[in-house]
C-alpha cells in the first residue's frame, strides 16, 4: 500500500484524527517543562492554541500552491518576536512554478517580498531566502499599481527568483504611523496551469492535518528554545546571534538584536542609544514564548516615529514593572522574564546600545 493510500485509510477509519489529537495533547508537555510561573503556563497554552489556529488556516484553508492566496495569520496569532508595527502575510508557492502578484503599493512605510524555501518544522537545514525585493525597488505606475513576478522565469524588473523547492512568499508591511498609512492591496495567481481545483480527498485532509501539527510543533519548539538561549546567554543584554531558524527567515534589510530580560520588582532595564540613520527602527517587549506583549493597549513597543528623543537625539528606553518616571517606559505587564528585540531597517551603520539594570 502506498503512503497516499495508507493516509486515505487512516482518515476514513478515524486514526488520522486520533493521531492529530494525541500529538496536540503531547505538545502541551512543552508548557509544563519550560514554564517558571503560572503566567508562563497560561500564556503557553494560549500560545499553542494560537499556533493551532495558524497552522490550520495556513495548511488547510490557504495551502494550495496552484491556487494560492495571500493571507495573514488569524487575529492575535504571534510568532517569533512579531513586530507590533507589521502586517505579516504569506502565500504558499512551489518554486518550480511561476506566479504573478498584482496590486497597489499603498502608502505603508515599508513593504518587502521574500521567497523562502522550507517551512517551520520541515527541517531547519532547508530554510532559506530564495529571492527578495523591497518597496523601494518595486516599479509602480502613477497610481501606485504594480505587477510583480515570482518564480524561476527571469523578468527585467519586479521579479522574485525562486529555486526548485516548495516554500512560501512572505510579505512584510511595516507602519511608522498606522493612523496615516494605507496598506498595500495584493493578489497572487499561478501562471503555469489552467486547471480547476480537484475535489477534496481523504488523503489530502490527512496530509493537511499532519502539516498543521508540524507547524505547531515546529514553531513552539524553535521559539521556546530560542528564548531559553537568550535568557542563558544574553540576559539583560542584546545579541545579533539568531536562533535555529531566525537567520534563515529574517529580512535581508534588517539588523535584529534579540535579548532576554529578567527583572525583580524594584529593577528596571535601561537601554540607551543614538539611532543610526535608517529607514525604520523599533523596540519591543515579548513574553517567554517570544510573542509580543499586548501592544493594542499597553506601552510595550516604540519606533522611530513614536519615540520621545532626548535633546541630543539619543533614546532612552526603560523596561520595568511600573513607570519609573523617565525615558520611554515599556511595561513588562507582570512578566518577571521574557525576550526583547531591537531592529534597524536599512541602517547606514550598526549601533550597539548600552544596557544596564538599575534599581528604581
CA distance 74 to 68: 17
Q: Where in the chain is the domain with CATH 2.60.120.1600?
A: 3-190
CATH number of 234-359, picked from 2.60.120.600, 3.30.950.10, 1.10.167.10, 3.40.50.10420: 2.60.120.600
C-alpha 19/C-alpha 16 separation (Å) is 5
* Confidence at residue 250, expressed as pLDDT on a 0 to 100 scale: 73
In angstroms, the CA 302 to CA 82 distance is: 14
pLDDT at 195: 87
List the beta strands (DSSP E) in the chain: 71-72, 86-94, 99-104, 110-117, 128-134, 145-151, 159-161, 166-174, 185-190, 254-262, 267-273, 280-286, 301-303, 315-320, 328-331, 337-345, 354-359
CB 348 within 8 A of CB 276: yes
Cell numbers 501592544: residue:
295
Q: What is the mean pLDDT of each run of 10 residues along the chain (360 residues)?
A: 81 97 97 98 98 94 93 94 96 95 97 85 59 93 97 96 90 95 97 91 95 94 96 96 65 93 98 97 98 98 98 98 97 98 95 96
E strand segments, 4-46: none
pLDDT attached to residue 123: 46
Distance, in Å, from the CA atom of 134 to the CA atom of 189, rounded to the nearest integer, reads 20
Q: How far apart are CA 317 and CA 329, in angstroms?
A: 6
- Residue 286's alpha-carbon distances to 18, 87, 196, 291, 339, in angstroms, are 34, 17, 43, 5, 5
**What is the pLDDT, as a whole number, of residue 246?**
53
pLDDT of residue 172: 96
CATH top-level class of 3-190:
mainly beta
DSSP output for 150-219: EESS--SSSEEE--SSEEEEEEEEE-S-TTT----EEEEEESS--PPPPPP-HHHHHHHHHHHHHHHHHH
CA distances from 334 to 150, 198, 292, 322 (A): 44, 50, 14, 9
**Residue range(s) occupied by CATH 2.60.120.600 in the chain:** 234-359
User: Using only C-alpha atoms, what is the Rg of the chain?
Assistant: 22
Length of the chain: 360
Give the model's pLDDT for residue 60. 92
Amino acid at each position: 500500500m502506498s503512503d497516499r493510500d495508507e493516509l486515505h485509510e487512516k482518515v476514513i477509519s478515524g486514526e488520522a484524527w486520533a493521531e492529530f489529537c494525541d500529538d496536540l495533547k503531547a505538545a502541551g508537555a512543552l508548557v509544563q517543562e519550560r514554564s517558571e510561573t503560572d503566567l508562563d503556563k497560561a500564556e503557553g497554552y494560549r500560545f499553542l492554541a494560537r499556533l493551532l489556529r495558524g497552522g490550520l488556516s495556513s495548511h488547510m484553508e490557504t495551502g494550495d500552491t496552484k491556487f494560492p492566496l495571500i493571507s495573514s495569520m488569524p487575529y492575535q496569532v504571534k510568532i517569533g518576536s512579531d513586530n507590533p508595527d507589521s502586517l505579516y502575510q504569506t502565500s504558499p508557492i512551489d518554486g518550480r512554478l511561476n506566479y504573478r502578484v498584482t496590486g497597489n503599493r499603498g502608502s505603508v512605510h515599508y513593504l518587502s517580498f521574500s521567497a523562502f524555501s522550507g517551512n517551520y518544522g520541515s527541517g531547519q537545514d532547508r530554510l532559506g531566502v530564495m529571492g527578495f525585493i523591497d518597496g523601494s525597488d518595486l516599479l509602480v505606475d502613477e497610481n501606485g499599481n504594480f505587477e510583480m513576478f515570482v518564480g524561476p522565469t527571469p523578468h527585467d524588473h519586479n521579479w522574485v527568483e525562486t529555486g526548485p523547492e516548495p516554500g512560501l512568499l512572505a510579505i512584510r508591511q511595516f507602519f511608522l504611523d498606522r493612523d496615516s498609512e494605507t496598506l498595500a492591496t495584493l493578489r497572487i495567481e499561478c501562471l503555469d496551469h489552467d486547471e480547476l481545483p480537484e475535489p477534496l480527498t481523504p488523503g489530502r485532509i490527512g496530509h493537511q492535518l499532519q502539516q498543521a501539527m508540524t507547524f505547531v510543533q515546529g514553531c513552539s519548539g524553535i521559539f521556546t528554545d530560542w528564548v531559553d538561549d537568550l535568557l542563558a546567554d544574553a540576559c539583560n543584554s542584546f545579541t545579533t546571534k539568531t536562533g535555529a531558524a531566525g537567520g534563515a527567515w529574517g529580512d535581508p534589510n534588517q539588523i535584529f538584536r534579540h535579548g532576554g530580560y529578567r527583572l525583580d520588582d524594584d529593577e528596571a532595564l535601561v537601554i540607551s542609544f543614538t539611532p543610526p540613520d535608517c529607514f525604520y527602527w523599533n523596540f519591543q517587549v515579548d513574553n517567554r514564548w517570544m510573542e509580543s506583549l499586548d501592544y493594542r493597549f499597553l506601552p510595550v513597543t516604540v519606533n522611530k516615529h513614536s519615540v520621545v528623543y532626548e535633546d541630543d537625539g539619543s533614546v532612552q528606553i526603560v523596561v520595568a514593572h511600573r513607570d519609573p518616571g523617565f525615558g520611554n517606559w515599556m511595561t513588562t505587564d507582570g512578566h518577571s522574564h521574557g525576550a526583547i528585540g531591537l531592529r534597524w531597517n536599512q541602517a547606514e551603520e550598526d549601533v550597539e546600545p548600552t544596557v544596564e539594570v538599575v534599581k528604581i
